[in-house]
């Protein structure tokens, strides 16, 4: 009999699920558990089950793996639930990027705020509340939801306030930025760099950086970035914000550029701030391109994944993903320090109490214990507050199905407001909800009205492919692939219809 059960929703994200489970199995006390996998993609569910069972057999572990397309069956009796779904898959993702682009909104990722992130949130929250309903009904009393799915802040906000489930939002952006800081400072051992971050997801700030105990000043950090021969060209937005704010952002150049109203508002300006050596530095629709081009990656890499699963699990290769450390801390009492997405309630003194913040905390057998009383500089707090206001409206719209409120949320988005008129926003949102109606049950009563308005649309669209863009498949190509069953899961992100 397993000591407890972990359920993974969206487990067909083969690479990410494999990583999460392997990390968990690095902890001896977590060997005698059941891992219940659930997904809507039967083929991918079969692949990850085969990989995990081979891993468990090769290591002689008592761990049990079950797989089912029945979500409630997977959730039954679960103590922990991990959500790593992507609602709408590549088809909806293409609309998140492509439709706003017709109105001049140039996004790199489009998964957090901006027009794409807000619509992603509408789809995600509709599904997430169903997940929460099932968790309350059949999971172990007090079950915890560890949410990896974007848009992180909106999903976590909805799960806590409207789903009634104890939820922690998890993201790995902070850990990745830490290694970059170590590189620009010239630290041979990244572990010599310690840091405290606080803010909101994807707009979190390194407010305290220590190198072997010595505090690193903004001037020293800026000098390190400016002299680095490669990173100085790739992180122009982050470096400019560091220069003006005195604080470095945790997020990539491309991510940060779409949360602020200053860097992607005009085509001629975008090229100044974007480096195309890698999509993450700000390529228009860059993440969509990468996911689209890698749509068949499982077929290519599954044999290698399967073969590598016969190797012994090496705890020294445990990744920086939070989930295994949180579960280990709660079950064994070993203290884990990390950065988590939770309700603010005074953690950051100059951000709204109801917001979801990403900040530093500790986990042990007694639960999650966050550091309270942190204060952001006014310059860092201001864009966070602007995003929080958009998130609040977006969550409320997703829960109520209020199309007017959804349009108001998009209108108040910083980048959208820097580019679009109100008439453009109203028409664009109509176009997006019509295109994504299959994943927006809460707006079912508003779709016909949106169609009628679009039939008489007068606001001109723009014939524009973006200011910093490499080739990407058309929306119609993506839809055709999904209809014919040739679409698989994007790297580390589950496609959920």
> How many other CB atoms sit within 10 Å of the CB of residue 21?
27
The conformation of residue 98, written as its DSSP 8-state character, comes to: H
SS3 203: strand
**Which of 421, 394, 433 minimizes the C-alpha distance to 410?**
394
User: What's the CA angle centered on 334, arms 363 and 193, to 5 degrees?
Assistant: 75
**Which of 244, 334, 251, 249 minimizes the C-alpha distance to 27?**
334
Contact 178, 190 (CB under 8 A): yes
Helix or strand (DSSP H, E) at 405: helix 403-411
User: How are the residues of the chain apportioned to helix, strand and coil, as percentages rounded to the nearest 5?
Assistant: 50, 15, 35
Is 202 annotated in the active site? no
**Which of 410, 386, 406, 407 minimizes the C-alpha distance to 397?**
406
Strands 5-9 and 34-38 come out as parallel
Is 31 annotated in the active site? no
Integer angstrom CA distances of residue 404 from 315, 391, 400, 451: 51, 15, 11, 15
> How many other CB atoms sit within 10 Å of the CB of residue 430?
21
**Exposed / middle / buried, residue 262 (Cβ in 10 Å: 0-12, 13-18, 19+):** middle
**Exposed / middle / buried, residue 333 (Cβ in 10 Å: 0-12, 13-18, 19+):** exposed
Q: Which residue, chain included where needed, has tokens 């589950």?
A: 494
Q: What is the C-alpha separation between 388 and 210, in angstroms, rounded?
A: 29
**Which of 491, 66, 50, 38 minimizes the C-alpha distance to 306?**
50
Q: Which residue among the candidates 248, 259, 263, 305 is catalytic per the annotation?
A: 259
Contact 428, 115 (CB under 8 A): yes
Radius of gyration, CA atoms only, the chain = 22
The conformation of residue 348, written as its DSSP 8-state character, comes to: B
Helix or strand (DSSP H, E) at 134: helix 114-138
Taking the mean position of all CA atoms in its chain, how far away is CA 230? Answer: 26
Contact 6, 31 (CB under 8 A): no
Q: Which residue, chain included where needed, has tokens 């930025």?
A: 177
**Exposed / middle / buried, residue 35 (Cβ in 10 Å: 0-12, 13-18, 19+):** buried
- 179-194 per-residue burial string, b: 16 or more CB within 10 A, e: under 16: ebbbbbbebeeeeebe
Active site residues: 172, 259
């Amino acid at each position: 009999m397993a000591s407890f059960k972990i359920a993974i929703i969206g487990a067909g994200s083969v690479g990410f699920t494999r990583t999460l489970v392997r990390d968990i199995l690095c902890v001896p006390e977590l060997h005698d558990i059941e891992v219940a996998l659930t997904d809507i993609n039967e083929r991918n569910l079969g692949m990850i089950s085969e990989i995990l069972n081979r891993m468990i057999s090769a290591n002689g572990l008592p761990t049990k793996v079950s797989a089912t397309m029945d979500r409630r069956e997977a959730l039954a009796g679960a103590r922990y639930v991990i959500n790593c779904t992507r609602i709408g898959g590549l088809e909806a993702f293409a609309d998140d990027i492509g439709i706003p682009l017709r109105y001049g909104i140039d996004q790199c990722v489009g998964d957090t705020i901006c027009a794409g992130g807000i619509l992603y949130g509408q789809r995600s929250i509709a599904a997430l509340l169903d997940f929460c309903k099932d968790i309350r009904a059949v999971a172990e009393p007090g079950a915890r939801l560890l949410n990896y799915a974007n848009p992180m802040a909106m999903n976590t906000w909805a799960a806590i306030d409207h789903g009634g489930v104890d939820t922690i939002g998890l993201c790995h952006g902070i850990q990745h930025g830490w290694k970059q800081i170590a590189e620009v400072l010239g630290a041979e051992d990244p572990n010599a760099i310690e840091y405290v971050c606080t803010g909101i997801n994807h707009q979190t700030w390194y407010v305290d950086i220590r190198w072997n105990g010595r505090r690193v000043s903004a001037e020293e950090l800026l000098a390190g970035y400016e002299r680095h021969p490669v990173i100085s060209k790739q992180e122009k937005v982050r470096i400019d914000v560091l220069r003006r704010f005195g604080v470095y952002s945790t997020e990539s150049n491309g991510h940060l550029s779409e949360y602020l109203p200053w860097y992607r508002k005009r085509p001629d300006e975008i090229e100044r701030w974007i480096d195309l050596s890698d999509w993450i530095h700000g390529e228009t629709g860059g993440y969509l391109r990468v996911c689209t081009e890698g749509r068949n990656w499982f077929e290519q890499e599954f044999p290698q994944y399967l073969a590598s699963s016969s190797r012994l699990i090496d705890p020294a290769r445990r990744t920086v993903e939070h989930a295994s450390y949180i579960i280990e801390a709660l079950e064994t009492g070993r203290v884990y320090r990390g950065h988590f997405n939770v309700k603010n309630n005074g953690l950051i003194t100059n951000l709204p109490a109801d917001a979801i913040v990403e900040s530093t905390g500790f986990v042990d057998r007694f639960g999650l214990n966050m550091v309270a009383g942190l204060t952001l500089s006014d310059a860092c707090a201001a864009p966070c507050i602007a995003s929080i206001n958009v998130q609040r409206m977006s969550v409320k719209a997703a829960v109520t199905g209020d199309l007017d409120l959804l349009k108001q949320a998009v209108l108040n988005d910083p980048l959208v407001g820097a580019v679009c008129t109100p008439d453009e926003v109203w028409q664009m949102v109509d176009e997006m909800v019509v295109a994504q109606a299959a994943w927006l049950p809460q707006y079912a009563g508003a779709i016909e009205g949106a169609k009628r308005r679009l039939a008489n649309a007068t606001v001109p669209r723009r014939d524009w492919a973006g200011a910093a863009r490499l080739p990407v498949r058309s929306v119609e190509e993506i839809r055709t692939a999904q209809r014919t069953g040739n679409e698989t899961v994007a790297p580390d992100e589950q496609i959920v219809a």
